Chain A
Amino acid sequence: MNLLELLSNLFLDYTLRTVALGSATLGIVSGALGTYAVLRKQSLLGDAISHAALPGIALAFLLTGSKAPLVLMLGAVAAGWVGTLLVMSILNTSRVKDDSALGLVLSVFFGFGLVLLTFIQRRPDATQAGLDKFLFGQAAALLERDVVTMAGLGTLALLTMLLFWKEFKLLSFDPEFGASLGYPIRLLDVLLTTLLVIAIVLGLQTVGVVLMSAMVVAPAAAARQWTDRLGLMVGLSAFFGALAGVSGAVISSTTTRLPTGPTIVLCISAIVLISLSGAPNRGLIWRWVRQRRNRRWLRVEAVLRDLYLLASQHADRDHGHSVAALRTMSYGRGGVAHTLGKLLRQGWVQQVGPDEWALTPAGMNEAERLVAKQEEAS
């Protein structure tokens, strides 16, 4: 299928359109709310919530016999919520550390969920088919009613986030100061976590419980690389989430037997990789270039200073000095000749003999400025 065909199908083909809309919704909501989880250093919480949701889905089906998206999602929200509260109460009442508490809840709930799922699958009737898609996600199975439910819940979560923007920012940056202002920080924490639970549950059908936490953490981690503003970070994270969601879901639904969750996660991983390496300021490549430039400039400064020092000991300013002398002054560090070449091109030094270098008047000015600046700094 070529690109043009894919694009036209995206708008015209019912299945593809449903899949794209659904995964865009999940990407936007989990990307936006995941920002807070990342900023509050609660990345693992997303993992615990998504795993904890599995028994909720199974129980909701067992109790109601219905596979309506709203019923299953409510079951997932309830179980995810119970799991989160359990983590919080373990932390408050025992000496267990938070990573252990998260791991404990995650594995117990997930194990229980698997047991229930196996039990459901062994039942003789055929209605149970399809619950196992919650493990790794199956975008192609998305129906319009699923997407409508997702969009409704997602809009609700995002509107709540925007409504309490100021409060959530305070909660994430400095909860103690927020408490001193009189805000019920504990309550805000529960509210924000509830929104996160909703965001995660929205994506379970498409991405699956095993990998859903990636959609919480990865878009935000990538977005942080590009911006220093919370608003922009939330927006960018939502965009990255949607981009990965749509591309992953479309790829997997146009190829048979390709589970959606892993495909989406590969897409978001690519975005993270590009962001980690290529983003200005924070990116690895950028940092490497800057370090190199700094190191070179430090070397230039050192040689300039050394020449200035030598010149100040001679009445004759044009008295030349050898590379060897300069090398000794810089503790035998290499690259003196190379640096002199750079200074020569800059017009700050001149060669006055076969191996004799001296500052030009311009170089003298530069060196004086440099020395003055250093004295001021110390």
Chain B
Amino acid sequence: MNNGKKAIEVTDLTVAYRDKPVLWDVDLDVPAGVLMAIVGPNGAGKTTLIKAILGLIRAAAGQVLIYGQPYLEQRRVVGYVPQRESVDWDFPTSVLDVVMMGRYGSLGWIRRPGRQEQTLALEALDKVGMRPFAERQISQLSGGQQQRVFLARALVQEAQVYFMDEPFQGVDATTERAIVRLLQDLRAAGKTVVVVHHDLQTVPEYFDWVTLLNVRRIASGPVDEVFTEQNLRLAYGGRVAFLSRDSRPDIGRSADPAAVGPMARHDLEPSAAPQESSE
């Protein structure tokens, strides 16, 4: 999975809101072809990190390289899935229309989307299982369907690197499975995907790379090396309880024997649930 090339290189990224640092001196090296989760407590700056990388928020300092080039020159190879709640779903437009917006970047100024864009959009809707909804008004969609429309819009960007903000937030089980399958397809196609994620339990199962963030970068690397109790405790301030994976049959599918199934439980002291080794 690691062919040596770095898809994303972030150096010294610092973002502040009114003198209060939200991100502090963050460095990231993400190899091409990995699925990376960004995890951390609320207010850790996960969304800010993505937005600062994409240039949507001005960084006070720092540099972002995508495949070795400054981000501004590499826009075409970057896809973005914002948080579902960031838009008004009562906007008068259809599913197909929203998905075609993913082509606006390569279309450029003034030119309107045509048949080619429509074909691409329909293909993308097929991939997320939303083809029958193409003509639907977007306000008629469920939360999970909205999320899949956003993913389809990112797919038609035909990017190399994807940034997704909480795609699993508030979606049904069907959609969650569909998204996981899609992420794996993207990885198989050699794409790099960075996902802001909130469910610690599923990290070892869904992702192979992880960044733990709490204003500063706590740790970043392969899940089996970095996703440890100690690092999680550093990121979450010790308010994390761990359950061994033996007691959690639903994460037994994890391919990584060293992975534990940690669970954020903010009401428990870390000592309350000792970690068992599964080896």
Chain A interface residues toward B at CB < 8 A: 39, 41, 163-167, 169-170, 172-174, 176-183, 224, 227-230, 232-233
Cross-chain contact of B104 among A39, A163, A181 (Cβ < 8 A): A181
Find chain B residues with CB under 8 A from A232 CB: 92
Known: A174-B82, A179-B55. A166 touches B104 (CB 8 A): yes
14 A-B pairs in the complex with CB atoms less than 8 angstroms apart: A163-B110, A167-B104, A172-B91, A173-B98, A174-B101, A177-B82, A180-B54, A180-B78, A180-B80, A227-B92, A228-B92, A228-B93, A228-B94, A229-B92
Q: Are A178 and B104 in contact (CB under 8 A)?
A: yes
Q: How many A-B residue pairs have CB under 8 A?
A: 72
Interface of A is mostly: helix
| Interface 1/0 per residue, B51-91 and A, CB below 8 Å | 10011100000000000000010010010101000111001
Q: Are B93 and A173 in contact (CB under 8 A)?
A: yes
Q: Report if B237 contacts A (CB, 8 A).
A: no
A172 to B90, CA, bound (A): 12
Find chain B residues with CB under 8 A from A180 CB: 54-56, 75, 78, 80, 82
Q: B99 to chain A: closest CB distance in Å?
A: 12
Q: Report if B254 contacts A (CB, 8 A).
A: no
Q: Are B93 and A229 in contact (CB under 8 A)?
A: yes
Cross-chain contact of A233 among B86, B92, B104 (Cβ < 8 A): B92
Find chain A residues with CB under 8 A from B86 CB: 174, 176
Find chain B residues with CB under 8 A from A176 CB: 51, 56, 82, 86
Chain B interface residues toward A at CB < 8 A: 51, 54-56, 72, 75, 78, 80, 82, 86-88, 91-94, 98, 101, 104-105, 107, 109-113, 137, 139, 153
Q: Are B93 and A182 in contact (CB under 8 A)?
A: no
Find chain A residues with CB under 8 A from B153 CB: 177
Q: Are B113 and A166 in contact (CB under 8 A)?
A: yes
Q: B95 to chain A: closest CB distance in Å?
A: 11
Q: A75 to chain B: closest CB distance in Å?
A: 32
A190 to B231, CA, bound (A): 46
Q: Are B56 and A182 in contact (CB under 8 A)?
A: no
Residue among B101, B112, B137 with max Cβ neighbours from chain A (10 Å): B101
Find chain B residues with CB under 8 A from A183 CB: 104
Q: B155 to chain A: closest CB distance in Å?
A: 14
A41 to B104, CA, bound (A): 23
